[in-house]
Copies of this chain bind each other. A is one copy, B any other.
């Protein structure tokens, strides 16, 4: 490759944005052309994130001032409701668009508007957008101009359920996802409940009966399984920065060996690790990496199967998956820029 592909990052100062920039800086095929920030325009990125000192000296521009002409790919690491204002123009201009927010994740406009509380500005694009979970949509992603990058909980939970639901091995209406997330999942927002003095040494549930990731999960699992999937989804906040751990309880309706099903389903997937029996995943084992690790436990005297799934919420749950999607869209090797080993300790 002679010339690097130019990418622009909208919303570069949130946690998914900064993680995306970190990955793009290590990616051999791309050049970060521009980073936007409404609140911090005019500042240098490395002023806000000194971790970039010495490697990135871009100046943040206002989204309005973004020079999009010379850009090939635009990532939106913005809050929900931003990408839908830009996507159509960008696509018409021949750019690829990857939205790390939720604007194009839900196919039913009414459901989207109910959960996100605003009117959708690009309803005609909703069906053109591809849900960017490569493990189920790789071919569609490859052909797409607009990818809706999945949410963090949805990624961890769907990867744990798809092989079973697709084969109709479990009840589609008796599923419990008890999920736990590090606090970076709540974003870089100056809220009291996110203060270290509040959140450290505390554990709690939240979003009970109303987390926006629920319709996203149910929609896609319904699509995959061909059945109406209903989920009980209880997210919890863990006093750590990164990581999602999902403990998922399902009811088996057929006899099967979970390990065989999962290993067969994911045998060619570079980022899904099916663990041996009696080995269970932990979030640190995927930190700063794009891996999802999955294992399971089958109760002896019942038909209950328990599935454990971990990801780094900012990586496979956001920026890492976005880069994976870019690689697929560009027909590059899928692991490009994503091969670094998890950080431990």
Chain A residues within CB distance 8 Å of chain B: 15, 18, 21-22, 25-26, 49-56, 176, 178, 180, 182-184, 186, 188-192, 194-206, 208-209, 230, 232, 234, 236, 238-243, 245, 247, 249, 273, 275, 279-289, 291, 293, 297, 299, 301-302, 304, 306, 308, 310, 314, 339-345
Contacts and interface: CB of A to CB of B under 8 A. Distances in A.
B234 A247 contact: yes
B245 A200 contact: no
A89 B200 CA distance: 40
Contacts of A51: 284-287, 289, 341-344
A27 B77 CA distance: 30
Within the oligomer, what is the number of copies of this chain? 4
21 contacts: A15-B197, A18-B344, A22-B343, A26-B339, A182-B201, A196-B196, A196-B239, A196-B241, A201-B243, A203-B238, A203-B240, A203-B245, A203-B283, A203-B310, A204-B245, A232-B302, A232-B306, A236-B247, A288-B343, A314-B345, A340-B340
B50 A281 contact: yes
Nearest to A245: B203
Given A203-B283, A339-B26, A230 B275 contact: no
A304 B243 CA distance: 28
A178 B247 contact: yes
Contacts of A186: 197
A339 B52 CA distance: 11
Which 6 residue pairs are nearest across A and B when measured between Cβ atoms?
A204-B282, A51-B342, A202-B284, A50-B285, A196-B196, A190-B190
